[in-house]
């Protein structure tokens, strides 16, 4: 499989998150040596009442549990949206080899937007980063989700 194939799986996880009422972000953790998918998940902060339950965090937790190691050295993380500061910190701590993301997040992203976490002197591990893989699809999913939420809020008189 290639980057687009794995990102399509992450997009399916994002779509599933959207159907649960979560912001549609999906993540897939892969061992590139074996092409084994270690974890795949979508955002879940609302569903499990956990503000840290971003797709990336859930994938890292699942991967660490399955490998019985908090270091995920050599693994690749595919995510549909540019990781935030919290997720970038977790990615660095897990020693992820490579981060591949779809849509940029100018407001909340922390890789190529905002604080550029991996470029900070306090960041002890800098993964290789590939941006823009299936970005149009990831962006369209997010825009559609938020458009529907605004429409629903407007009907309820909340806007």
Q: Is the dihedral of CA 17, 78, 60, 34 positive or negative?
A: positive
The verdict on whether residue 54 carries a ligand-binding annotation is yes
The verdict on whether residue 49 carries a ligand-binding annotation is no
With beta carbons less than 8 A apart as the criterion, state whether 108 and 23 touch. Answer: no
Quote the tokens at residue 92: 């660095």
Quote the tokens at residue 46: 């609302």
- Residue 56 among the catalytic residues: yes
Helical H segments across the chain, by residue range:
3-19, 55-67, 85-94, 135-155
Residue 81 to residues 74, 78, 111, 142, Cα–Cα distance (Å): 21, 9, 10, 9
The verdict on whether residue 123 carries a ligand-binding annotation is no
Given the residues 4, 56, 119, 137, select the one marked as catalytic. Answer: 56
Residues noted as catalytic? 56
Q: Give the residue ranges of the annotated binding site.
A: 54, 84, 87
Q: Give the residue ranges of the annotated binding site for Zn(2+).
A: 54, 84, 87
């Amino acid at each position: 499989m290639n980057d687009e194939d794995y990102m399509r799986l992450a997009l399916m996880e994002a779509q599933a998150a959207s159907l649960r009422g979560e912001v549609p972000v999906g993540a897939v953790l892969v061992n590139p040596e074996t092409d084994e998918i270690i974890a795949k998940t979508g955002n879940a902060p609302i569903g499990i009442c956990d503000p840290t339950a971003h797709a990336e965090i859930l994938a890292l937790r699942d991967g660490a549990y399955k490998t019985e190691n908090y270091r995920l050295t050599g693994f690749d993380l595919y995510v549909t949206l540019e990781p935030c500061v919290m997720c970038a910190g977790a990615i660095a701590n897990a020693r992820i080899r490579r981060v591949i993301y779809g849509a940029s997040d100018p407001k909340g992203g922390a890789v190529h937007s905002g604080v550029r976490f991996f470029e900070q002197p306090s960041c002890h591990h800098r993964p290789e980063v590939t941006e823009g893989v299936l970005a149009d699809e990831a962006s369209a999913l997010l825009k559609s989700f938020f458009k529907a939420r605004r429409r629903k809020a407007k009907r309820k008189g909340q806007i």
